[in-house]
Homo-oligomer: A and B are copies of this chain.
Amino acid sequence: MIIVMKQDASLAELGQVIKVLEDKGFHPRPSHGEKGTVIGVMEASAGDLEGLETLPGVDQVSPLSSKFKLVSRGFQAESTVVKVGDFEIGGKDFVVMAGPCAVESEEQYLTTSRHVRDCGGSILRGGAYKPRTSPYSFQGLHEEGLRIMAKAREETGLPVVTEVISPETVPLVTRYADILQIGARNMQNYALLDAVGRQRKPVLLKRGLMSTIDEMLLAAEYLMSNGNNQVMLCERGIRTFERATRNTLDLSAVPVIKEASHLPVIIDPSHAVGKRAYVEAMARAAVAAGADGIIVETHPFPDKAMSDGEQSLDFPGFARMMEGLRPIAAAVGRTMRAGAPKPHEGGPMAGSYIP
């Protein structure tokens, strides 16, 4: 059950409702959003809460039978718009988050960031903490990586998104990042979801490669039930039997999520296909399918990347993809940030940087 408090309810009234619920043996979870306060009550059914709507401050007691509560369109009909910098994600903007898989060095990252900006990208991506399948693989530059990202933001004016991999690093990453990313492997790391849900930066929640859409929505429910309403959902490919691509992009997640939830949807074609040659086609498809943005890997020298080089676009490839997306975005009524004139002409794409 969900108890929706009136907009002008007082804290005292809220406290009273919570006490009543606790006295009944429930564990009420208040959640404070822009549109007011809502109290989720674990496993209570309609009969349990009879009479509750007469308490002072209570607007309604909603017998949401759905397992989804705060994330659902039933709970909030209008689409959530997450504001990051100048962008309204979930609104008319189609955003492109781009950058290398991992922040490897200042020069590598700044070079890439400038190219992303020049081509019209909206947000810079990059990994400072890298969860790796093998303990012996490169795990990221950690705080040094975050510092480099902050510097890139300063220079380009673009916000940054980066992954947070454990509850204890949440405060540090929150200090640097504009958007906190929860990686696919951590989608059901509930201690992390709780920690990220309790801070107030927007969150990009990636779908586990073994997770259903329902489970992704329930993971978002963890974030929102901790009070964070700025949640974006990211489809990044699921694991199937097909081996021609690294994973299988489940693009139908876009209409499925849009029907079930009010949250914005971002597509990650790079991790989904895992091969550079297929990224552009899937980025185009994402725009057409109604996604609110994409997150894409690009690297000045993909063959020398410390991780995920195979799926990273080189600079001309990224520029070409961006040009290809614009007419499709226009065709479906979306706007994209304009790039600098002719970003991919007049000299080597990667500047003078040699890794």
- Interface membership of A112, Cβ < 8 A: no
Copies of this chain, tallied across the complex:
4
Interchain nearest-CB distance for A70 vs B (Å): 9
When distances are taken between beta carbons in the complex, the residues of chain B under 8 Å from A238 are 240-242, 248
- Interface membership of A254, Cβ < 8 A: yes
> Which residues 293-351 of A have a CB within 8 angstroms of B?
327-328, 330-332
- Interface membership of A189, Cβ < 8 A: yes
* A-B residue pairs in contact (CB < 8 Å), sample of 21: A43-B137, A67-B136, A131-B188, A133-B215, A134-B221, A136-B221, A166-B191, A167-B167, A168-B191, A185-B188, A185-B190, A208-B210, A239-B241, A251-B251, A251-B282, A252-B281, A255-B280, A282-B289, A284-B290, A288-B288, A328-B328
Which of the candidate stretches A7-15, A80-88, A146-154, A271-279 sits at the interface with the other chain?
A271-279
The proximity string for A residues 224-262 relative to B, scoring 1 for CB distances below 8 Å and 0 otherwise, is 010000000000001111111100111111111001000
- With A240-B238, A241-B241, A288-B328 given, is the CB distance from A165 to B136 under 8 Å? no
When distances are taken between beta carbons in the complex, the residues of chain B under 8 Å from A137 are 42-43
When distances are taken between beta carbons in the complex, the residues of chain B under 8 Å from A168 are 167-168, 191
Distance in angstroms between the alpha carbons of A131 and B240 in the assembled complex: 24
Distance in angstroms between the alpha carbons of A245 and B260 in the assembled complex: 13
The interface size of chain A toward B, counting residues with CB under 8 Å, comes to: 75
- Interface membership of A287, Cβ < 8 A: yes
**From A166, A210, A288, residue with most partner B Cβ within 10 Å:** A288
- Interface membership of A180, Cβ < 8 A: no
> Which residues 96-137 of A have a CB within 8 angstroms of B?
131-137
Contact B209 A210, beta carbon cutoff 8 Å: yes
